[in-house]
Amino acid sequence: MNLPTFNLRRGNGNTAIAAASANPLNFDVQHEQSRLAQRQADRWLIVGTLVMSTFTVGLFGLPLFLRGLWLQRRAQQSGLSMRPLMVTLIGYSLLLDGAANTIGWCNDLIANHSLLTRVLLTTWGNFMDGGYFWHYNELGLGGSGAPGEKAWQIGLIFSLFTMRMAACIGFLQMKRWGHQWLIVGCWFSLVYSIGYITNMTIYGDIRYAGTAFPVIAWWIYNVIWLAPFLAIPYLHTVDREIFSD
């Protein structure tokens, strides 16, 4: 039997919804097409997010991410049942936060003697954060010579940031556990931020001395890390019933 299909072109939303309501079989088809459309959009979104989290090719990830958003919006306008746009934006922005911190700190913690890391991180250090320039690769573990930096790296790579990425995946799949753990991870970020900023302030004479753009440039760069705090009000007020067990 040939099943009816729904055109994804703009303007066919009412037809698709009416057809699904009139025939239960059409509802199953519409559900399957919605799932496939969301999956197609997510391929672009997650690849774009992971590319944006890297040092060297981050800018190339933005067009991929925007294409994913466009595919999701087009499918929604055609009448398919897609994930809420706010869930998509919050989930992927927090995934970007976790991936960027994990990749960046893993490079310093594990790959600190690679040519790419030595060039990029010491340039970054000379530019705005002297903790990645001052006595770089002179500690036993290698990498940043700033006191306290390694403790934050080891502690957060294996807890906050990996936990946040896992929670984001569940959140984007509209799972209740993903929503709950994302709330926990965002509040955990408050503890991390206070501790890290305190560490930066105490050793300010090391981290900002001789840098090209001290303090102000560091804050401008790190404004993206405010995403976990901006997400907290939404995560606490969103209808939890839209998430499944």
CA 240/CA 195 separation, integer angstroms: 31
Question: How large is the C-alpha radius of gyration of the chain?
Answer: 22
**Residue with the larger pLDDT of the pair 23 and 170:** 170
- Enumerate the β-bridge partners of residue 244: 175
Verify that 105 and 211 share a domain, yes or no. Answer: yes
Phi-psi label, residue 23: left if phi above 0, alpha if psi -120 to 50, beta otherwise = beta
Number of domains comprising the chain: 2
Least confidently predicted of 3-12, 113-122, 223-232, 236-245: 3-12
Q: Which of 22, 53, 82 is the last residue in one of the domains?
A: 82
Band (233; pLDDT cuts 50, 70, 90): very high
Verify that 69 and 104 share a domain, yes or no. Answer: no
Band (1; pLDDT cuts 50, 70, 90): very low
Spell 182-216 as b/e; 16+ CB within 10 A means b.
Answer: bbebbebbeebeeebeebbeebeebbbeebeebee
Look at residues 8, 33, 41 and name the one whose alpha carbon lies nearest to residue 172. Answer: 41
What is the predicted pLDDT for the residue at 58? 86
Q: Which of 36, 60, 82 is the last residue in one of the domains?
A: 82
What is the predicted pLDDT for the residue at 171? 96
Verify that 152 and 118 share a domain, yes or no. Answer: yes
Give the amino acid at 75.
Answer: A
Band (24; pLDDT cuts 50, 70, 90): low
Main-chain dihedrals φ then ψ at residue 229, nearest 5 degrees: -75, -35
What is the predicted pLDDT for the residue at 40? 95
Residue range(s) defining the domain that contains residue 43: 1-82
Q: Which of 22, 55, 82 is the last residue in one of the domains?
A: 82
